[in-house]
A and B are shown apart, each in its own frame.
Chain A
């Protein structure tokens, strides 16, 4: 941290920027392994950022020095929790990537199947076939009472 204790050093701020920037770029990839690396970089960047939020100084142990020159312990406690959480999520993502590779031979995240079908249908400008009902007047063999249709037909014949 800075010698004057007035604020964070530029180096740390730049480190956060580089870590987060690289993380975001890697997150935009399709391959889960690269996304995983992106998550790690992004997570570390964010953890450093939290650390920058507190006051810099000496170790925050009572008796080790004057209170006003101690660093702020709360961000450090939060970062510990955040590191554990990021670690857990990274492990899980690694497991998912491995499982994906195990099952399908690669770890790319494909588009959703249904999405692709609907886009194809929209491209051809057609509606789903089921929306038209898909059955004619005799389409339902279990229809117990076909009478009304015939009667209507006969009445139409009469009027002619």
Chain B
């Protein structure tokens, strides 16, 4: 089984090389991308089953044993992230293929899209599977480099303007991460996560806290936690719809995953918990207040994305098993739902010619299916029972109440307020864009939306609903993953079976 572990990283990378060579043959290129991502998804599911039944799957790359060589580790958290991310990337890929067939306008992807997209996937999976800090950094850099190309695709003036903000902020966060990697190595003499877990415990408290805050700063920029989140709504909305969707779903969640990993494996004990809780509360409330003021669909969703990152950080900051379990469930839910909403925004743009709420209206009458496709994930995001958004928020709020104390209490109140405001935002979009008299921003004759685009969106909406139906078993997995994360020993023992050197 452990032989399969490198495949989620290697297959997309090889696929990227192959599809770059076949840039002149679009049909073959598309087939290769779809096959690669389907393969990744299959392997990810197998890994999750294995990790859930028998504990973490570990492979030492090049057969160099653990503290010396590089290890790839798939524990339950990593495997679960892998499954969700590959499912979502596959759906978005199908959507983009559908879009590419429909037109040759500015919004459609070009031939460089497929190789870059596969490299992005490889970066994401590498970040999830990385067993040492430097490999995590490399994973981040792979996905960032690919995302730079994707966000400035076509090189139009708007994309360059918004893309330059994104590029500079990302490079800065990488520098901060790299600095902290250097400092961690200087302090401990290792970068293997399992070995670090032991050695960091022995460091003086002040040094330990400094390293923790440095790492958190780097990850918080990537995860768009409040004071560091201003770059996101300015840069995401101008990219093509599938690109924005996959960025919104995955890239910030890789940051959240890294925060979960450092807070549980490297720095347990929660010395930064108060800080994390304060920023989590601010992220939730300020993010959603930003969404209330927006008049463009994509920008509005970007702000809800920022806002809901707060829930996950809240779950991590509680540092209880219930809080962590809720946070992991919320990450899974949010990846799916946020991606779906951005894909729906892309469909709206395709159908109505714009995502500007001032220029469109009455879509529910013009395109009823589009109305349904928007309504279900929007209500899911707002946390209306019985959807998975409600279950995730309920889990987190219960964990917050169980933790007790004034600060978690304030956070629970902020979480409820955010949920209500999200409902307000969702119904505002519904009222403006889907009710009222039909009004389209384009005068072109109506064409049917490409079947593949609608199909991919339907699959993602169904996946969101499946998360609701299967919430029980999923919560079992996340609770188990959270328990393992809190214990730390399963991870450390799997990586270093001979004990810590």
**Chain A: residues with CB nearer than 8 A to chain B?**
27, 32, 35, 39, 42-43, 46, 49-50, 52-54, 74-75, 78, 81-82, 85, 88-89, 92-93, 96-97, 99-100, 103-104, 109-110, 112, 114-115, 118, 122, 128-131, 133-135, 139-143
Contacts and interface: CB of A to CB of B under 8 A. Distances in A.
B395 interface: no
B295 A103 contact: no
A96 B148 CA distance: 10
A42 B181 CA distance: 15
Given A46-B179, A130-B295, A93 B167 contact: yes
Contact of A114 (B134, B171, B179, B294): B294
A142 B295 contact: no
B178 A109 contact: no
Contacts of B148: 89, 92
Contacts of A142: 365, 437-438
Contacts of B234: 112, 115
B178 A46 contact: yes
Given A114-B296, A128-B358, A139-B437, A104 B182 contact: no
Interface stretch (B28-36, B152-160, B343-351): B152-160
B185 A96 contact: no
A112 to B, nearest CB: 4
Interface in B105-138: 134, 138
B164 interface: yes
Contacts of B161: 100, 104, 109-110
Interface of B, secondary structure class, is: helix
A93 B436 contact: no
Contacts of A42: 172, 175
10 contacts: A78-B181, A82-B178, A85-B141, A93-B171, A103-B155, A104-B161, A114-B294, A114-B296, A135-B436, A140-B437
Given A92-B145, A122-B293, A130-B357, A109 B171 contact: no
Contacts of B436: 133-135, 140
B165 interface: yes
Contacts of A134: 361, 436
B109 to A, nearest CB: 19
Nearest to A112: B234
B432 A27 contact: no
Contacts of B171: 39, 89, 93
Interface in B276-312: 293-296, 299
A96 to B, nearest CB: 5
Given A81-B134, A92-B145, A131-B428, 10 more contacts: A32-B164, A35-B168, A39-B168, A43-B175, A93-B164, A96-B163, A109-B161, A134-B436, A135-B436, A142-B365
Nearest to B68: A74
B376 interface: no
B63 interface: no
A53 B168 contact: no
B294 A118 contact: yes
A109 B165 contact: yes
A50 B152 CA distance: 31
Contacts of B295: 114, 118, 128, 130
A50 B160 contact: no
A52 B181 contact: no
B31 to A, nearest CB: 29
B431 to A, nearest CB: 8
B134 A78 contact: yes
B85 interface: no
B162 interface: yes
